[in-house]
Amino acid sequence: MRFSLACFIATAVVAALQWLPFTGIFLMFLMAPLWSVVLINAGFLAMIFEATMGMVPRWAMVIPVVYFGGYYAEAVLQHLEVSREIATLESNPADRLKFDANDAVINVDLLGDEIGHDLIAFYHVPAVIRGGIGQDGLADVYRLKPECKLAWEGNSSTPSPNGFLRRSLNFDPCIAKHREVYSGPIVNIKSAEYGEKVTDTVEADRIVLTSPDRNQVTIDNGWYSPLSWFPMPIIGCGLNDEPPAWKCVAHFNRDRIPVLTPIDGVSGPAAAVARVLGLERKA
């Protein structure tokens, strides 16, 4: 039996065993869905070698050429499309929302932790609330510690915001948390929890900013998902949580390119929010 044929047969056998939950659950823990990446690519590469050596008919070389050539042609087209969309998005003028950092505070939801962190660390927003105001009128208010601000402005050896291991309001040693009463104006920032799959190459969600006077600005966020540069055909099954089910898939792996790209160390969503609010980077 030719090596290429053995690879394809092994792929089919492993896929069939994964389809059965009894055997599939064990194969899932052995990372069996990734075995097809090795087996299928090895099979097509072996077919090229076998056709070159005369072990199979010469015309058989057309099959792997179509596989690899077609894949890379589609991958290039998708990455070019993503590049054009990113360039178009960056060239579009941003909507603006009236914001006075000395009069209003920013409230981020639990998913906006990184946005709140970067607005304080890089733009020196005086205060950020996380999670809203409770029924008792108290809120978790985060502020930049004065000693950190002075150190960064004086170009001290104190670590800069770029040196933080984790972009988090709670874990950043230069951001202080206070539980206090707040009753002033608030700019709310709401992040979508789950992206909506628009196409195979775009997974979109939204960041919605709402000013105290109820004006809103929506920022497009999410991920571009073009084909990865190396063909990774994934065939396998796994346990789905909601709803509970044994789910099988067969697809090529895709890259994840953020719609909002980081700018000078600032996360893409935070930079986009700062642009809407008219904030200038301080650190």
Query: How far is the C-alpha of 283 from the C-alpha of 277, rounded, in Å?
Result: 17
Q: What confidence tens digit (pLDDT) does each residue in 162-205 have? A: 444 457 888 888 888 889 888 888 899 998 755 566 566 666 67
Whose tokens are 């104006």? That residue is 185
Provide the CA 244 distance to its chain's centre, in angstroms: 25
* pLDDT tens digits along 251-279: 999 998 888 888 877 888 898 899 898 88
- How many beta carbons lie within 10 A of that of residue 5, not counting itself? 14
What is the C-alpha separation between 41 and 232, in angstroms, rounded? 8
Q: How many CA atoms lie within 13 A of 279 on its CB side?
A: 25
Q: What is the pLDDT of residues 25-71, one digit of tens each?
A: 999 999 999 999 999 999 999 999 999 998 999 999 999 999 999 99
* Residue 254 DSSP class: B
